[in-house]
């Protein structure tokens, strides 16, 4: 029977490798152009913030126009989808870097508060999609005056 020296860090390193694999699956790794297909897609970044009377969603969609984007809304969520196409015919071996992502995308943003679906407005300017979602009247915060008793 061979005696194996116990190394407390061996298990830690295998856990670290498993976590690294998990992040690679979730966020991707550098890939060659040959592997980059429209099916893999990409995810545009968004900001969601709330004001007194509305919720505002801003999405960065560089290189796209309003015609390339489909915005839909229901009682529960806002859906933004579209496609950014790879336009230039450049051979893989001519690339020094390929960091921009191409293909289909879809973001579903659940509402933090009830909204009025038929009054939603969307605008597109300089690669930024802005969607304004008016809050339902009953969802607006009400101020309550606190009485001081002595």
Three-state SS string across 94-118, please? HCCCCCCCCEEEEEEEECCCCECHH
- pLDDT of amino acid 37: 36
- pLDDT of amino acid 36: 36
Radius of gyration from C-alpha coordinates of the chain? 24
Is there a domain that residue 16 lies in?
A: no
Is there a domain that residue 24 lies in?
A: no
For residue 103, which phi and psi values (nearest 5 degrees)? 115, -165
Q: How many separate domains does the chain show?
A: 1
pLDDT along the chain (150 residues), means of 10: 65 73 65 38 87 93 91 92 78 67 87 90 95 83 80
Pairing of strands 77-84, 103-110: antiparallel
- pLDDT of amino acid 2: 64
pTM listed for this prediction: 0.62
Report the CATH number that the domain containing residue 45 is assigned in CATH: 2.60.40.790
Domain that holds residue 128: 32-139
Largest interatomic CA distance in the chain: 83
- pLDDT of amino acid 35: 37
Question: CA-to-CA distance for 20 and 132, rounded, in angstroms?
Answer: 38
By residue count, the chain amounts to: 150
- pLDDT of amino acid 63: 86
Is there a domain that residue 55 lies in?
A: yes
Residue 59 burial (CB count, 10 A):
25
Is there a domain that residue 9 lies in?
A: no
* Contact call for residues 129 and 61 (beta carbons, < 8 A): yes
Q: What angle do CA 68, 74, 77 make, to 5 degrees?
A: 80
């Amino acid at each position: 029977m061979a005696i194996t020296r116990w190394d407390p860090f061996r298990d830690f390193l295998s856990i670290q490798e498993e976590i690294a694999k998990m992040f690679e699956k979730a966020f991707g790794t550098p890939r060659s152009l040959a592997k980059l297909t429209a099916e893999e897609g990409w995810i545009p970044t968004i900001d969601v913030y709330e004001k007194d009377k509305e919720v505002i969603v801003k999405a960065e969609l560089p290189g796209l126009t309003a015609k390339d984007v489909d915005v839909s809304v229901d009682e529960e969520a806002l859906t933004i989808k579209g496609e950014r196409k790879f336009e230039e015919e450049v051979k893989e071996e001519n690339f020094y870097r390929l960091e921009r992502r191409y293909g289909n995308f879809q973001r579903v943003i659940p509402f933090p508060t009830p909204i009025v679906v038929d009054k939603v407005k969307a605008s597109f300017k300089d690669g930024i999609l802005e969607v304004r979602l008016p809050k339902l009247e009953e969802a607006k915060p009400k101020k309550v005056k606190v009485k001081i008793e002595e």
